[in-house]
Structure 1
Amino acid sequence: MQRAGEQITGTVPATRYSEAVPRYTSYPTAPHFHAGIGAETFRGWLQQTGSSDDVSLYVHIPFCDRLCWFCACHTKMTRRYEPVAAFLDALLSEIKTVGNVLDGNGRIRALHFGGGSPTMLRPEDVLRLGAALKDAFNFADDAEISVELDPNDMDDARFDAFAAIGMTRASLGVQDFDPKVQTAINREQTFEQTRGVVDGVRARGVHSVNLDLLYGLPHQTLESVADTIRQALTLSPDRIALFGYAHVPWFKKHQTMIDEAFLPGPEERFAQQQETARIIREAGYEVIGLDHFAKPDDPLAVAAREGRLFRNFQGYTEDACRTLIGLGPSSVSRLPQGYAQNTPATANYERIVSEGGLATARGIALSEEDQARAWVIERLMCDFAFSGEEAIRLFGECGRRIVSEARQADEEAGLVEDGGTFSLRDEARPLVRSTAALFDQYLKRGGARHSAAV
């Protein structure tokens, strides 16, 4: 194993793998949103949606029946259903309000249920929620509907309810199958449970299954995480998301329950990432960006090959919609004009939307400079490259400044220019977040802290 500061591969020093940088699911990133963007601004942005504009929806369910210690999502644990039922009533009010503001404009091409645990909803409430969304918005006939599933919640009635509202993709949180690791992160889930859910959704016609896996967890070793990957592959998932555990206890206090003494160091994390990625590739999956994999015929793999890959708060996607509307507390909406985020406090959210208001608490309007840098960062994150000529064509003087910055980047950035295109060397690709950060004008403003680069 390499010591800190030694080379891991090529010309990349090991110390860079522990650099703290954003994940770049947006630009500017969420720490730079501000209270100057409120409900009226968001309402005005929504009203500019055209009748034929493609739109995506994200619905956030902020409850779990257990708290996984690794989780950095906005959620709270409850054993009672009453708070969930009260929240659902408020969510239905928000759906109606946003639908009225759009006034029939926009065509929904994708809907994603996340959390928290959407599967905490009772089957009859899943059906209520699905009906409310269809009543409020104009759905395309071929809209993709994806749901994050907790295998511990699933039963036949929930399988049937999500199938009834049109679920086309199921995403299962697995993390790791090793019982010792599961105990350390408070996420006990057997392989048999996971296999049962995969079989259950496929039996109901769901055409795509994604598995979320983590490396860098406490007690994981190179051998144990490889075993988890091999078990996951026996389920033949259509997609795999392989994330590095983000240890951010200053942001999520429950992560203090994880004993840092058992977390792998940066060299071990990198070795885990490299070994697991190798196993997945050798099983026939194509690499999608930094941390996703897909079967060659999956739409995500096709989009990546054709240069149509995008990145949003759910990760890599083939969804090209410029407008994404977030519903529920803490949800972020992304529109051509900027970002708008709902208040994260569930009680405050429920009060505002129950009175017919929009719960926008903060956001950021995009300048031309922001749009140019967002485009470059997204292309780097998706393609490990960007065209300098296209940057200038799209963004003029802003594009020229960014091209000049790319040419001045130091060798460790890993950027190589060839025929006007800036590409990352292969050995620098695991550090694409660090390279993207070179074009982030906000990064040094304020005191935001981030997770490790790998």
Structure 2
Amino acid sequence: MSISLVQKYNVPGPRYTSYPTVPYWDETSFSAAKWKQTLVQSFAESNAAEGISLYIHLPFCESLCTFCGCHKRITKRHEVEHPYIKAVLKEWQLYCELLPEKPIIKEIHLGGGTPTFFSPENLEQLIKGILNRAKIAADYEFSFEGHPNNTTRTHLEVLYTLGFRRVSFGVQDYSEKVQTAIHRIQPFHNVAKVTFWAREIGYTSISHDLVFGLPFQTLENVIDTIEKTNSLSPDRLAFYSYAHVPWIKGNGQRGFKDDDVPKDDAKRLLYEEGKKLLAQKGYHEIGMDHFALETDSMYKAFKENKLHRNFMGYTASKTKLMIGLGVSSISDSWYAFAQNEKELETYYARLNQNELPVFRGHVLTQEDLIIRQHILNLMCQFNTSWKKKESYFCHLPIVLSQLTEMENDGLIILTPHTLTVTEKGKPFVRNICMAFDLRLKRNAPKTQLFSMTV
């Protein structure tokens, strides 16, 4: 890869788990009433055909990992578990009361925070409480994020009994120096143990999350981490860029100096060399920064153009309606986004008043909907098309004219009706999506909002 390309295109940019991105939501035109209206509309259009997805945010962690950009509450007091589960089930009840019939659940994902902070018994209570008010789709997929240090065999067995078949373990990097800097100490044998347990119990998709660009991380560290990962053969993995955003996360990302974080070409080299090692093991690059073996459902979804991306990241199936439960969770009706209260006490107070704890959101315009689909196409399939009338928008010629330089650099191939990202262009897919981001163009940020794109 040309060094000049990395330097040229490594600018702050969104990760595009949504469009519009959260900083560009039009909160003035949003209301709880509008959110409920789009929720019911989306449910009517999609429940019987494809079911709905649930994302459940479990925010508690016993210690702070300084690489993390997630919304969390640090505590060692496990008595917080029961009232939180009670609140989430109350929120689910309020949603079910809005829906005209029983929801059919296609996906459940438990994220955090640390879902395995919760005891197996409390997680069982949570999932059974959710399923008591729903039906399960025939092709459902339940998944959760597990911390290798506190995921027990009982966690894995209980969730397997409840229908979970996919688990993701956060690894990040195996270097002791890097682990110390990010305050995430977990030896390889802990990861190996939970991976072997999951496989033995019968989980069909085991994932590891790796991060490149962490403080003090060297090429030798990445090679060692990838080789250890390859020895465990997870079915899929994420190998994503560390988002250094200390201006957003405050002290959580100030445990090291900015100069300790790899940048530009040095950072990108970590990914490229890691990708080579993964390819030798049979992993295929899927979307942006994700890899899967040919036997995994994510690879099959990618090959069949069914890969989807939302606030849970990449998923092997798409539902129009995704309801987020729990503090700070974001819901997506396709026509609107809605985010829950970020403060736990306010979240509880809203539910005690029998209110959905939504505090902000965005209703998508027709232009938003079209651009959202183009960005989804690029992020999931590395191509998009405006052959069909419904895929065209009036500012498209301006967008295409601004892609000329990327075309000249060999990052994309343009035809009169299509755009295809080349192999050379895949590291810059976020930059390519930014060309379509009219809300970003119309209101360029005065301060840095996003992490670097490469």
TM bin, normalised by shorter chain, reads: over 0.9
- Structure 2 CA distance for aligned equivalents of residues 63 and 284 of structure 1: 36
Tell me which of 97, 104, 107 is aligned to 2:94. Answer: 97
Give the match for residue 4 of structure 1. Answer: none
Give yes or no for contact 1:35–1:362 (8 Å, CA) kept in 2. Answer: yes
Give yes or no for contact 1:42–1:360 (8 Å, CA) kept in 2. Answer: no
- Tell me how far 1:365 sits from its aligned partner: 0.6
Cα deviation, 1:354-397, whole Å, max 9, x if unaligned, reads 3321011111111110011111111111222112314xx3234x
Map 1:55-454; keep pairs closer than 5 Å.
Answer: 55-253=52-250, 254-390=252-388, 393-396=389-392, 398=393, 401-402=395-396, 405-412=399-406, 414-418=411-415, 420-444=417-441, 445=443, 446-447=445-446, 449-454=449-454
Gaps of at least 5 residues in structure 1 are 1-7
Give the match for residue 32 of structure 1. Answer: 24
Cα deviation, 1:52-99, whole Å, max 9, x if unaligned, reads 142111000111111100000000110101223222221111111112
Gaps of at least 5 residues in structure 2 are none
| Residue aligned with 1:433, SS | helix
Cα deviation, 1:212-242, whole Å, max 9, x if unaligned, reads 0000001111121111011011111000101
- Structure 2 CA distance for aligned equivalents of residues 72 and 415 of structure 1: 31
Give the match for residue 46 of structure 1. Answer: 39
Amino acid at match of 1:44: Q
- Structure 1 CA distance for aligned equivalents of residues 372 and 12 of structure 2: 19
Q: TM-score of the superposition, structure 1-length normalised?
A: 0.93
Amino acid at match of 1:115: G
The percent of aligned pairs where both chains have the same amino acid is: 34
- Tell me how far 1:105 sits from its aligned partner: 4.5
Q: Structure 1 residues 17 and 228 mapped into 2: Cα distance closer, same or farther (>3 Å)? A: farther
Give yes or no for contact 1:384–1:424 (8 Å, CA) kept in 2. Answer: yes
- Tell me how far 1:188 sits from its aligned partner: 0.4
- Structure 2 CA distance for aligned equivalents of residues 434 and 125 of structure 1: 43
Give yes or no for contact 1:17–1:270 (8 Å, CA) kept in 2. Answer: no
- Structure 2 CA distance for aligned equivalents of residues 262 and 404 of structure 1: 40
Once structures 1 and 2 are overlaid, which stretch shifts more, 141-150 or 51-60? 51-60
Matched length: 442
Amino acid at match of 2:438: Q
Q: TM-score of the superposition, structure 2-length normalised?
A: 0.93
Amino acid at match of 1:450: F
Amino acid at match of 1:379: N
- Structure 2 CA distance for aligned equivalents of residues 371 and 189 of structure 1: 42
Cα deviation, 1:298-348, whole Å, max 9, x if unaligned, reads 111111112222211122222211111110111111113211111111110
- Tell me how far 1:436 sits from its aligned partner: 0.6
Amino acid at match of 1:206: Y
Give yes or no for contact 1:380–1:436 (8 Å, CA) kept in 2. Answer: yes
Cα deviation, 1:172-208, whole Å, max 9, x if unaligned, reads 0000011111011000011100011111122221111
Cα deviation, 1:86-135, whole Å, max 9, x if unaligned, reads 22221111111112212424421111000001111112111110111101
Cα deviation, 1:154-185, whole Å, max 9, x if unaligned, reads 22332222222211100000000111110110
Segments of 4+ in structure 1 off by > 4 A? none
- Structure 2 CA distance for aligned equivalents of residues 136 and 347 of structure 1: 26
| Residue aligned with 1:180, SS | helix
- Structure 2 CA distance for aligned equivalents of residues 149 and 403 of structure 1: 46
Give yes or no for contact 2:335–2:369 (8 Å, CA) kept in 1. Answer: no
Amino acid at match of 1:23: R
Give yes or no for contact 2:81–2:122 (8 Å, CA) kept in 1. Answer: no
Cα deviation, 1:406-425, whole Å, max 9, x if unaligned, reads 24423236332236321123
